[in-house]
Amino acid sequence: MRFLAACHRRPVDATPIWIMRQAGRYLPEYRAIRDKLSFMEMCRRPDVAAEVTLQPLRHFELDAAIVFADILLPLEGMGIGFHFSPEDGPVIERPVRGAAELTGVRPFDARRDLPHVLETVKLVRRELDERTPVIGFSGAPFTLASYVVEGGHSRTYEHIKRLMYGDPETYGRLMALLADAVVDYLLAQIEAGAHAVQVFDSWAGCLAPFDYERFVLPYARDVVARVKQRGVPVIYFVNGAAGMLSLVGQAGSDVVGVDWRVELDHAWEQLGDVAVQGNLDPVALLGPPQAIEERVADILRRAAGRPGHIFNLGHGVLPSTPPDNVKYLVDAVHRLSAKSASG
């Protein structure tokens, strides 16, 4: 399995590729299911979640599947209710802004709280047999905390930064609870059959390196260390972290995911001896094939000579992406990287 070989920085016949949100709205057969079920219903039904996980692999020569789920799912079992609003996206019903709101939060237990996600991992693993690896995932502690404190998406992250600066004890207790949840969730997905796991720190890029180092990195490092003991590769992806990659690398993951706002070789120099995942701008997939080809070639050229490159977008695939362009991308990555390996 090319993807796992690359995670371990072993030689591959061509660069592996998977795509963040590859099970998603850009696929007509996904939308056909989504028209009948709510997003949360899809997450809660292992048969549906497994089907949606497998859909992109029927069209494209992807090198890994990623289980269909949402990063907010663990919150419900912790007593932090949320729903999705059509306009604003996720809405946390009672945001945690201080010690008082934290008293209602309880530890997460994957087997009790999210048995359906674990069942989905098992179904996908069985269906794929041993041809294609399955990636499990979780939000990182800070990214989960940002939802819990902000109450949803944020432009400024004022509330979580205020908590960090003004009440570091409550902030630390929330982060410790979430770190335990993330570890439990990832270990349970590994036990259910995940070959690798990705930790999404989607919003940690809102922080100055000064604050990332003090308030985020210790928890990310703790999560990575505890999960790595299980022996499967851990991918740590921080969106918007182009200016602090050397800190991101200190979390100790096997693979670091990077967004598109940095040249891959420049990123890799700062990360050192790890595998690197990325990093095409998702919007490039809205351009003509030639624009995709040029940008794929540039990324592969910057990755050449170092083992351990996993191709991916720098963020999730956009709903407006033509599926034909996803096919073009996947094939171009394999074609151009196989060529460069032989020549």
What amino acid positions are annotated as catalytic residues? 21, 25, 34, 70, 147
Does residue 262 belong to the site contacting a second copy (CB under 8 A)?
yes
Distance CA 334, CA 135 (A): 20
Contact criterion met (CB below 8 Å) for 20 and 317: yes
Does residue 329 belong to the site contacting a second copy (CB under 8 A)?
no
Quick one: which segment of 75-83, 109-117, 127-135, 254-262 binds a second copy (CB under 8 A)?
254-262
Quick one: which segment of 1-9, 132-140, 219-227, 259-267 binds a second copy (CB under 8 A)?
259-267
Does residue 21 belong to the site contacting a second copy (CB under 8 A)?
no
Quick one: which segment of 93-101, 138-146, 173-181, 314-322 binds a second copy (CB under 8 A)?
314-322
Among 152, 172, 209, 323, binds a second copy (CB under 8 A): 209
The enclosing H or E element of 234 equals: strand 234-238
Based on its alpha-carbon atoms, the radius of gyration of the chain, rounded to whole angstroms, reads: 19
3-state secondary structure of 70: coil
Total site size for a second copy, rule CB under 8 A: 39
Does residue 211 belong to the site contacting a second copy (CB under 8 A)?
yes
The tokens describing 264, both together, are 């891959």
Nearest distance, CB of residue 193 and a second copy, angstroms: 34
Q: What are phi and psi for residue 33, nearest 5 degrees?
A: -75, -45
Does residue 260 belong to the site contacting a second copy (CB under 8 A)?
yes
- Best CA proximity match to 67, nearest among 87, 42, 89, 90: 42
Going by the DSSP 8-state scheme, the letter that residue 17 receives in this structure is: B
Does residue 103 belong to the site contacting a second copy (CB under 8 A)?
no
Cβ closest to a second copy, residue 192 vs residue 207: 207
Instruction: Write out the binding residues for a second copy, residues 270-309 only, by CB under 8 A.
Output: 279-284, 286-288, 291, 295, 298
Helix residue ranges per DSSP H, 86-167:
99-102, 110-113, 115-128, 141-150, 158-166
Virtual torsion, Cα 68, 72, 77, 81, nearest 10 deg: -130
Instruction: Write out the binding residues for a second copy, residues 114-173 only, by CB under 8 A.
Output: 156-158, 161-162, 165-166
Nearest distance, CB of residue 131 and a second copy, angstroms: 32
Nearest distance, CB of residue 310 and a second copy, angstroms: 18
Scan for tokens 């120099």, then name that residue: 269
Contact criterion met (CB below 8 Å) for 272 and 250: no
Nearest distance, CB of residue 286 and a second copy, angstroms: 5
- Best CA proximity match to 142, nearest among 65, 283, 239: 239
The enclosing H or E element of 50 equals: helix 46-59
Nearest distance, CB of residue 26 and a second copy, angstroms: 13
Binding site for a second copy (CB under 8 A): 156-158, 161-162, 165-166, 205, 207-211, 240-244, 260-263, 266-267, 279-284, 286-288, 291, 295, 298, 314, 318, 320
